[in-house]
Amino acid sequence: MENELTTAQRAKVLIEALPYIQQYNNKIIVIKYGGSTMVNEGLQRAVMGDIVLLSLIGVKAVLVHGGGPEINEALNKMGKKTEFIGGLRVTDQETAQVVQMVLAGKISKNLVNLIGNIGGRAIGLSGIDGQMIEARKMSEELGFVGDIVNVNTQPILDVLEKGYIPVISTVGFDREGNCYNINADTAAARIAGTLKAESLINMTDIAGLLRDKNDPKSLISKLNVSDAPQLIRDGVISGGMIPKVNCCIEAIRRGVKKVFIIDGRIPHSILIEVLTDEGIGTMFV
Amino acid sequence: MENELTTAQRAKVLIEALPYIQQYNNKIIVIKYGGSTMVNEGLQRAVMGDIVLLSLIGVKAVLVHGGGPEINEALNKMGKKTEFIGGLRVTDQETAQVVQMVLAGKISKNLVNLIGNIGGRAIGLSGIDGQMIEARKMSEELGFVGDIVNVNTQPILDVLEKGYIPVISTVGFDREGNCYNINADTAAARIAGTLKAESLINMTDIAGLLRDKNDPKSLISKLNVSDAPQLIRDGVISGGMIPKVNCCIEAIRRGVKKVFIIDGRIPHSILIEVLTDEGIGTMFV
Amino acid sequence: MENELTTAQRAKVLIEALPYIQQYNNKIIVIKYGGSTMVNEGLQRAVMGDIVLLSLIGVKAVLVHGGGPEINEALNKMGKKTEFIGGLRVTDQETAQVVQMVLAGKISKNLVNLIGNIGGRAIGLSGIDGQMIEARKMSEELGFVGDIVNVNTQPILDVLEKGYIPVISTVGFDREGNCYNINADTAAARIAGTLKAESLINMTDIAGLLRDKNDPKSLISKLNVSDAPQLIRDGVISGGMIPKVNCCIEAIRRGVKKVFIIDGRIPHSILIEVLTDEGIGTMFV
Amino acid sequence: MENELTTAQRAKVLIEALPYIQQYNNKIIVIKYGGSTMVNEGLQRAVMGDIVLLSLIGVKAVLVHGGGPEINEALNKMGKKTEFIGGLRVTDQETAQVVQMVLAGKISKNLVNLIGNIGGRAIGLSGIDGQMIEARKMSEELGFVGDIVNVNTQPILDVLEKGYIPVISTVGFDREGNCYNINADTAAARIAGTLKAESLINMTDIAGLLRDKNDPKSLISKLNVSDAPQLIRDGVISGGMIPKVNCCIEAIRRGVKKVFIIDGRIPHSILIEVLTDEGIGTMFV
Amino acid sequence: MENELTTAQRAKVLIEALPYIQQYNNKIIVIKYGGSTMVNEGLQRAVMGDIVLLSLIGVKAVLVHGGGPEINEALNKMGKKTEFIGGLRVTDQETAQVVQMVLAGKISKNLVNLIGNIGGRAIGLSGIDGQMIEARKMSEELGFVGDIVNVNTQPILDVLEKGYIPVISTVGFDREGNCYNINADTAAARIAGTLKAESLINMTDIAGLLRDKNDPKSLISKLNVSDAPQLIRDGVISGGMIPKVNCCIEAIRRGVKKVFIIDGRIPHSILIEVLTDEGIGTMFV
Amino acid sequence: MENELTTAQRAKVLIEALPYIQQYNNKIIVIKYGGSTMVNEGLQRAVMGDIVLLSLIGVKAVLVHGGGPEINEALNKMGKKTEFIGGLRVTDQETAQVVQMVLAGKISKNLVNLIGNIGGRAIGLSGIDGQMIEARKMSEELGFVGDIVNVNTQPILDVLEKGYIPVISTVGFDREGNCYNINADTAAARIAGTLKAESLINMTDIAGLLRDKNDPKSLISKLNVSDAPQLIRDGVISGGMIPKVNCCIEAIRRGVKKVFIIDGRIPHSILIEVLTDEGIGTMFV
C-alpha cells in the first residue's frame, strides 16, 4: 500500500510538519517511555528513531525510561523475593542495587546503543549522575523507595548543550550515599516541570483516556486539568491511570506547556503527535 | 486522495527522511531558483516553504535567484530598448541600474517577504552588499555584463551564522563603483564552489536531462561529468542547457559534493530530492 | 587656501576630536539621509565618507535613507499616474512595488556600493529583511502607505555586530505579505528610539531651524522640546518642517539622547557636528 | 601519632605539593581502578577522595574502572554458568548484558554516588555512551569479548569540559548494536593514549614491580620500557602482570608521558604518587 | 623531625585540605601583606609560595601590600625630611612621588618577580593603573595623603580573568592627575568589600588579638564585630591595632564573608589558616 | 591663526585621515618614547593625547618608554656613584633596583596617570610582570645590564585584549630572580618584532636622519635598510644614532612592516606621521 505514495503525498507530509518544527525548534520535549511498548523490539526501534529525528530537526529531546518488567525478571533470576505494601515493592538495599543496575546499566545503555545505531548521539544519565535526583525515603517500611527532594537539571542541560540525547534512569541518591528507586512517571513530570519543557509525552499501552474503556472511539482528545477530579470520581480515570494522570496534572502545574498521554503501541506515535495535524491520545491543558 | 493517507504512511515519510537530515545537518545547500518556476505564485510559495523547512531542520540553505522575465518587463514599461549580441543583452549604465533595481529591490525582497510570511527569517543580499561579487566587463561591447573576478563569501556566512536565509541577487560591483548584471547560473555555481557547499540544486523548467527530449522516461538520473562533452557532441545536451550543464560541471570542479538539475515545475521538488529516496532530475558526479 | 594648513593645525583638528570620539565610542548614531542632499553626487560621496569614518573610529553608524525624487522619476518613466490625498500619495500594490524596488534595489544598493568603494563595509536592509518593520494601512484610501506597528531591531544589531554599516530602506511588511511605503523620517525616529541610540542626525536642505527664515544668522542652535509647540504656533516651525520636528521630538521621547537637524548641503556636516566643537544646525534636548 | 603533626609540618606537605600541582595543572590523568582495592570500602572512599582532590586542584581526572569479582558474583547469583578459554570468559549475548549491567549500572554509578557524597561531581560513562568504544569480536569462540576498533574521546572531553569527573565502564559497541566486554587495562591504556594524557596510573594489589617477589624492598621504581622484554624472559614480570605491563608499554608508545603501576592497598597512594616527592610503585619511561 | 613524616601523614594533610579547597574554589581571597613579615626574605618567599599554591588550586588570590619601612629608607637616602601630624606623614608632591616609586616600582615588582620565580604568574597593579583607586586629600595640611573616593575593581578582575595574581600597590589618583599615598589596610578592606571577596586575610607581626598582651595563649580566636567597641574601651585592642581592627570591621560591613588577622611571622600561616582545621589568629564575624 | 580654520578645513583633515585609519585598524603600533621629549610636560601630554586618540580609533597602541635622565637624577639624590664602561653604566644590584623603581614606579605610572587623565585606559607593565622580558648579563663587568633572552608577549596581548594601553618599562628578570636594566630602544624593537607589529615609531630629539646635520632640509625621508651600512661608513649616521638605526633595522628584519624615526619635539608628531599624508622623519623599509 505504502508503495503507492506519490511524491506529492510525500512532500505534503513533510511540508505539513513545517509549523510544528517551527513551534518546537530549540524547545525541550520530555518523553516518558515505559511499559509494554518498551518490550517490543520493533516498537523500541521506532520510538528511538522518532527521538533521533526530533533531535535532528532541532528539538531538545529528553528520554526518561521506566523498566518494571526487567527489574522483576532480574530479581527473579537472582532468587530475590520481594514483598509489596500498597502496590509498592519493599526495597531493601540489595534490591535498590538491582533496580539501579537494571535501569542504569541495562535498559539505559541499551537504549543509548540503539540510538547510536540509528545515527543519533546519546548519553545515559541516572539520577545519581551529577547528583541529578535527590531523594528521601517515602516511608521506613518501604525502604529505598524514594520521594523526590530536589531535581538538579544541570547535568541534563550540560549533556543537551553538547549535542547528546539524555537517556535518564530514575534512580535517586541521598546525602548518606544511598540509592533509591524512583517512580518514572513522577520523575518525568518533575524533570519536565523543572526544565520548563515545552511538552511532556507519556507513552502508554492504552489509546489515551477513553470515556468508555471498551470503545476506542470514545477517546478524550483534550482534557482540562480542572475536569480530572470529576472523571476520577466517575471512574472514567481509574486504577493505574490515576497516578499517571496525576503526574500529567502536576507537570502542567509546574509549568510544562503541553502534556500528552499517547498510545505507544502505534508505531511512530511520537512523530504523529508532534509533527502532524493528527493528535493521537489525550492532551492535558 | 491525499486525505486517505494513514498515520502509518505519514510517519513512514518522516522517518525515511531521517538519514537525509543526518547527512545534510549543518551543511550548506545552494539553491539556484529562476525561470518560469519563479513566475507561478503557488510554486513560488512551495519552493520557499521547502527552503524554510530545510533551514529549520538544520540545513544552511542559500537561495540564489534569477529574474530575466521581470527585468524585461521593467525595461519595457520604462520604454528602454535594448540590443542583443550573441544572445546577451547590451547593458548600458541605465540598464544595469534597472537590472539591479528589479533583482535586488523587487524579486529578492519579495522572496524575503514570502519567507517571513511562511515563518522563516531571511535577508536579501545582492552581490554589492559586503562587496560579495566583484566583477569586470565581459567585453566592451556588452557594457555592464559582468564576468566574476572574485566571490567574497563572508557576508553569506555572517548572515547564515545569525540564523537568516540569504536570498542573493546576482549583481556585481567593480573598484570604480559600477554595478554589473551577472548570470545567475554562473554566480550560483561559483558561490557554491567557494562555500564548499554540500550540494547545489538548479531548479529548471525541464524534467532534468533527457536522453530523448520527447520521452520524459528517458531521464538521465546520474551523469558523470566526464561524459558531458560527448552528450553535447551528440546533441543530447543542447541550446540553453549547455551553459547550465557547464555551470554544474564547474561547481563539481570547485568542490561541491553533489550537483542537481531538478524539475522546478513539480511542487516541493527540492524536498523530494533532498529528503526522500526518490531522486527527481539529474545528479552530476 | 587649504594647502596652507600647517601640521600643527592638522594635529589640532585631530586631537580636538578626541573627546567626541570617546563620547560616541561604541554608541549608535542613526543618520537620516534624504532630500536634495542625496541627489548631489559630490555631497553623497562626502556623506558616505563621513559615515565610513565614524564607523572606523568605533561609532555604530546606522543609515536610514529616503528617496522621494527617485520614486517619482521611476513612476513617471513607467507611465504610472498617482493621486495625492492630504499630501500623501495614494499607493496601490503596483506603486508600493515600485517604491520598494527603487528604495531597496536602487538607492540602498547604490549607497552600499559607494560605501564599499570608499573602503567601508555595508549591507542594505529593507524593513522587510528579517521582518524589521511591521506595518499596517494608515487608511484604506491611501492604500499601502504604512503606519509602523512594530520595529524589530534584531537584524540591525546582527549586521552591526558583524561589522557592517546597515543601510536601511523604509519599506514595511504585514502579516498578509504586503509591502508598504513608510515615511523615512518617522521610521528613522522610531528605529533610533527602539535602538536607544546615542544620537539621531536628520540631514536636511536647510540650515537648521531659523528664527527668521530669511536670516541664516538666526539659527536656533538648541531647542528644548517643550518649546516646540509655541514655535509652531508662532509659525517659526512651519510647513514641511512640522513633521520633521515632530519626529525629532518623538525620538527624544523614546529615549534617544541627542537629536539634531543639520544642514546637509554643507560638505561633511556630520563630521563637523559629531567630531568638532562647532555645532551646525539645531540640537533638540 | 598523627595528632602530633605540627602546623609547620602540615604547611610543609602542602607547599611541597606546589611543583606537582603546577606540573599537572589542566592536564589529564587517567586512573585505572580495579581488583581487590575496589572491594575494600575504606580504600574505595580514600581513592575517590584523592580523585576529587585532584579534580579540585585543576587536574582533569578520568577514572576507568574494572569489576571482575562483581561480574562473577552477579553471574553466580543468576545461575549463569560460563566457560573459559585461555583464561578469558566465553561471553554469549546474555553474559555480555550482565557484564554491561554490573559495570555500567552498579559499579560505575556507585562510584559516581560516592564521589558526589564526598563533594565532587561525576558522570558515569560506558563505552556505549556517545559511541565511545567501538569494538569487534576478538574471536568467534569467545563471543562478545571485544578488541577495540576505535576510541572516540569526544564524550570524555565534553564531560570534562562541563566540570564532571568521567567514570568509565569498559563495555563496547559495534555497528550491529551488540555490546562487548572489554578488558579494562587495555581500554585505560588506549583511552589515555588517545587523550594524550599526561599520566596513566594503574592501581593494583601489589607493591609495584618487585625484582624479588618476596622482598618488598626490591621495588623497581623506574622501568625503561625497552628493558621490559628481558624482565619477562627473566620471570621478574610474570603471570597476570605481563598483560598489565604490556598495557603500560602500549600507553607510553601512544604518547602518554608518564605511566605508573602503584600499590592500591596503601590509602591515598594516588595523592602520594602525584603530589609528593615520594614515589610509590613503578614508573614506566 | 619533619623527615619522619610518614606517607600516611602526608596524605592525611592533603586530604584534610579537600573541604577547604571546595569551599574556596573560584572564590576571591584578598591578602593584606605588610609590616615586618615583609622584610624577612625567607618569610616573604614562604608567603608568595602560599599565594601561588592558592592560585593553582583555583582560588582567586589578590595581594595588597604595604611598604612603610622601605618608603622611610628611600626618603632618608634622598635626604628628604618629612614632618608628621597625628602620626601621619605630611606628604608633598615630591614625597608622594617617592611613595609611588617605592610601592609600585620596587616592592610590587619585586613581589611579582618572586612569584614568577616560584612558578606563578603575577602582574603588579597600582591604584593608578586602569584608574583603580580614586582619591582625594584627607586634609589640606597632610597634602597627598588620600581618602578613597572610589574603587574600580575592573582592572583587578581583568587581570584575574587572564590568569595572573594581581599584586596591588595602594597609591591613588585624582581627576587633576595627582598621586596619593593610601593606607594599605584601608585600601585592602575597601577592595575586598567591593570585590565581595570570600575572605580578607590581614598578615601582621602579632599573634592575632590577645586578651592579655603578654600571654600568647590568650588569643581571641573568634571576634564578633559587635564586641569590638567594648574591647577597645577595655584597652584589649589598643594603639596601632585599633585602625587595623576597624578595617576588618569595615570589610565585614561591606560584605566580605570572613576576615582574619593572622600572625605573619609563622611560615605558611596563610595555608594553615585557609587549608587546615587549625585556625591561627583571630577571625572576625 | 588657528582660529581661522574653516569647518571645511577641519572636515578635510578628518576625512583625509580615513585611509590611514583603515590601514591601521586593529593593527599594533609600538611607540618608543624617551629622551628629552619626555621631559617637556606639554609635549608629554601631547604624546599621550596622540596615543589615546590612536587607541580610540581602533589602533592597538603599545608604549615603550625610556628614562635615562630620571634614573640619573634618582641615583644622584641617593648619593649613589656609578662608573661607566664603554658608555654603559656599571649596574650593581642596588643600582638595578633604583632603575626598576624609577622606570616601573615613577615614569610608567605617571604616564598611566596622564593617559587616564586624558580619558584613556592604561596599565603599566614592566618586563618583570607576567615574566615578559627574560634577560641575562651582557658581561660580568657591567653587572645587571641585560641582554634579552626571550620576550613573552602574552601579558601585552592580554592587556590589549582587555582594552588597556600597555605602558612598558624595560626592566628584565632572570631565573635566579634578579632584575636587569634593558636598553629601551632594543627592547622596543624586539617587542615590536615579536608582536609582528604593523609599525614601530621611535620618537627622538632630532628631525629624523639628516644627510647634512646642519641642514634640516636634508632629511632622508625613506631609507632602504640595505643602504644603512654605507651611511654609517660615510658618517651620515654616527654617534648615538648608530644603535638607534640598528634597532630600526633589527625590527624590520624581525617582521615589523614599517619603522619610523620621528621628531618628538614637534607636538603631535605621531598623529601627523600616522594619520596624515605628511611624513615627518625617516621611514625604514
The ranges assigned to domains in chain F are 26-284
From CA F71, how far away is CA A279, in angstroms rounded?
85
From CA B217, how far away is CA B203, in angstroms rounded?
19
Average pLDDT over residues D202-215: 86
Average pLDDT over residues C193-210: 92
From CA B256, how far away is CA B28, in angstroms rounded?
10
Q: In D57-153, which residue ranges form alpha helices assigned H by DSSP? A: 68-77, 93-100, 108-118
Cβ distance of F124 and E126 shorter than 8 Å = yes
CA F80 to chain centre: 27
From CA A113, how far away is CA D174, in angstroms rounded?
9
Do residues B21 and A118 lie in contact, with contact meaning Cβ atoms separated by under 8 Å?
Answer: no
CATH number of E27-284: 3.40.1160.10
Cβ distance of F15 and C57 shorter than 8 Å = no
Do residues A252 and A227 lie in contact, with contact meaning Cβ atoms separated by under 8 Å?
Answer: no
Strand partners, C260: C201, C283
Closest-approach residue (CA) in chain B for A57: B57
Mean pLDDT (chain C, rounded): 92
Q: Does D265 touch chain E (CB under 8 A)?
A: no
Closest-approach residue (CA) in chain E for D59: E57
- What is residue B92's predicted lDDT score, i.e. its pLDDT? 96
Residue B35, pLDDT above cutoff 80: no
State which H helix or E strand residue E41 sits in: helix E41-56
Choose the mutation target among E123, E149, E158, E171 for the interface with F, i.e. most F CBs under 10 Å: E123
Cell triple for D205 = 594489589
From E169's Cα to the closest Cα of chain F, the distance in A is 10
Task: Determine if residue F6 is left, alpha or beta; phi over 0 gives left, psi from -120 to 50 gives alpha, anything else beta.
Answer: beta
pLDDT tens per residue across span C77-110: 998 888 899 888 999 999 999 999 999 999 999 9
- What is residue B93's predicted lDDT score, i.e. its pLDDT? 95
From CA A100, how far away is CA D111, in angstroms rounded?
13
Q: Report the largest interatomic distance among the alpha carbons of chain B, rounded to a whole angstrom.
A: 62
% of residues, chain C, pLDDT over 90: 69
Most confident region among B218-232, B264-278, D107-121, E208-222 by mean pLDDT:
D107-121
| Range scoring the smallest mean pLDDT among D156-160, E4-8, E73-77 | E4-8
Strands (E), chain E: 28-33, 60-65, 84-85, 88-89, 122-126, 133-137, 146-151, 165-169, 171-173, 179-181, 199-204, 222-223, 258-263, 282-284
Query: Of B105, B122, B123, which has the smallest distance from its Cβ to C105's Cβ?
Result: B105
Other C-beta atoms lying within 10 Å of the C-beta of residue E249: 18
Do residues A188 and A254 lie in contact, with contact meaning Cβ atoms separated by under 8 Å?
Answer: no
Cβ distance of E117 and F162 shorter than 8 Å = no
Cβ distance of D171 and A109 shorter than 8 Å = yes
Residue E57, pLDDT above cutoff 50: yes
pLDDT tens per residue across span C153-195: 999 999 999 999 999 999 999 999 999 999 999 999 999 999 9
| Contact residues for F230 (Cβ-Cβ < 8 A; gap 6+) | none
From CA B97, how far away is CA B126, in angstroms rounded?
13
Choose the mutation target among A45, A80, A95, A101 for the interface with D, i.e. most D CBs under 10 Å: A101
Do residues E235 and E195 lie in contact, with contact meaning Cβ atoms separated by under 8 Å?
Answer: no
Beta strand B146-151 with B88-89 is unpaired
Which of the four pLDDT bands, split at 50, 70 and 90, describes residue D64?
Answer: very high
A222-223: strand order across its sheet = A122-126, A165-169, A60-65, A28-33, A199-204, A258-263, A282-284, A222-223
Cβ distance of D46 and E15 shorter than 8 Å = yes
Task: Give φ, ψ of F163 to 5 degrees.
Answer: 90, 15
% of residues, chain B, pLDDT over 70: 99
Choose the mutation target among C1, C10, C277 for the interface with F, i.e. most F CBs under 10 Å: C10
- What is residue C238's predicted lDDT score, i.e. its pLDDT? 87
Cβ distance of D49 and E10 shorter than 8 Å = no
Cβ contacts of D279 on chain E, cutoff 8 Å? none
Which of the four pLDDT bands, split at 50, 70 and 90, describes residue A152?
Answer: very high
Cell triple for C248 = 525629532
Cell triple for E255 = 560584605
From CA F65, how far away is CA F34, in angstroms rounded?
6
pLDDT tens per residue across span A29-64: 999 998 777 888 889 999 999 999 999 999 999 999
Cell triple for B49 = 516553504
Cβ distance of D122 and A130 shorter than 8 Å = yes
Which of the four pLDDT bands, split at 50, 70 and 90, describes residue D246?
Answer: very high
Closest-approach residue (CA) in chain E for F176: E117
On the CB side of E132, CA atoms within 13 Å amount to 34
From CA E94, how far away is CA E110, in angstroms rounded?
23
Cβ contacts of D272 on chain E, cutoff 8 Å? 7, 10-11
| Physical contact, A and D (3 or more Cβ pairs within 8 A) | yes
Strands (E), chain A: 28-33, 60-65, 84-85, 88-89, 122-126, 133-137, 146-151, 165-169, 171-173, 179-181, 199-204, 222-223, 258-263, 282-284
From E194's Cα to the closest Cα of chain D, the distance in A is 26
- What is residue C31's predicted lDDT score, i.e. its pLDDT? 98
On the CB side of F81, CA atoms within 13 Å amount to 1
| Contact residues for A66 (Cβ-Cβ < 8 A; gap 6+) | A32, A33, A34, A35, A38, A170, A184, A185
CATH number of A26-284: 3.40.1160.10
Residue E1, pLDDT above cutoff 50: no
- What is residue B2's predicted lDDT score, i.e. its pLDDT? 44
On the CB side of F69, CA atoms within 13 Å amount to 7
Beta strand E165-169 with E122-126 is parallel
Please state, in angstroms and as integers, the Cα–Cα distance from residue D95 to each residue in A41, C104, D65, D90, following that order.
19, 70, 19, 9
pTM of the model: 0.91
pLDDT tens per residue across span B168-209: 999 999 999 999 999 999 999 999 999 999 999 999 888 788
pLDDT tens per residue across span D138-195: 999 999 999 999 999 999 999 999 999 999 999 999 999 999 999 999 999 999 999 9
Residue B169's nearest CA partner among B161, B178, B180, B157 is B180
Residue A4, pLDDT above cutoff 90: no
| Chain pair C-F, CB pairs under 8 angstroms | 116
Please state, in angstroms and as integers, the Cα–Cα distance from residue E215 to each residue in B246, D14, E219, E224, following that order.
98, 30, 8, 21
Please state, in angstroms and as integers, the Cα–Cα distance from residue D124 to each residue in C44, D170, D173, E105, E279, following that order.
65, 11, 16, 52, 38
Which of the four pLDDT bands, split at 50, 70 and 90, describes residue D3?
Answer: low
Cβ distance of B123 and C97 shorter than 8 Å = no
> Cell 503501541 sits at which residue?
A265
Q: Which fold has domain C25-284?
A: Carbamate kinase (3.40.1160)
- Rg of the Cα trace of chain D? 19
Residue B183's nearest CA partner among B74, B89, B259, B110 is B89
Other C-beta atoms lying within 10 Å of the C-beta of residue A6: 11
Residue F127, pLDDT above cutoff 70: yes
What helix, strand, coil percent values describe chain E, rounded to 5?
45, 25, 30
From CA E139, how far away is CA E148, in angstroms rounded?
13
B26-202+228-257 maps to CATH 1.10.150.120: no
Query: Of E78, E108, E116, which has the smallest distance from its Cβ to F131's Cβ?
Result: E116
Cell triple for E23 = 569551599
Does the predicted interface ipTM exceed a cut of 0.90? yes
CA E150 to chain centre: 19
- What is residue B137's predicted lDDT score, i.e. its pLDDT? 97
Residue E16, pLDDT above cutoff 50: yes
From CA B151, how far away is CA B172, in angstroms rounded?
10
Which of the four pLDDT bands, split at 50, 70 and 90, describes residue E3?
Answer: low
End-to-end CA distance of chain F: 37
Residue E278, pLDDT above cutoff 80: no
Residue C1, pLDDT above cutoff 60: no
Cβ distance of A7 and B57 shorter than 8 Å = no
From CA B278, how far away is CA B175, in angstroms rounded?
46
State which H helix or E strand residue F136 sits in: strand F133-137
Most confident region among A10-24, B192-206, C214-228 by mean pLDDT:
B192-206
Residue C225's nearest CA partner among C256, C191, C193, C248 is C248
pLDDT tens per residue across span D75-94: 999 988 888 998 889 999 99
List the 42-81 stretch of D: residues with Cβ below 8 A of A: 74, 77-79
pLDDT tens per residue across span E157-187: 999 999 999 999 999 999 999 999 999 999 9
Do residues E284 and E260 lie in contact, with contact meaning Cβ atoms separated by under 8 Å?
Answer: yes
Do residues B193 and B181 lie in contact, with contact meaning Cβ atoms separated by under 8 Å?
Answer: no
pLDDT tens per residue across span D21-57: 999 999 999 999 987 778 888 899 999 999 999 999 9
> Cell 527602539 sits at which residue?
C194
- What is residue B3's predicted lDDT score, i.e. its pLDDT? 54
Do residues E220 and E285 lie in contact, with contact meaning Cβ atoms separated by under 8 Å?
Answer: no
From CA B18, how far away is CA C244, in angstroms rounded?
56
Strand partners, A21: none
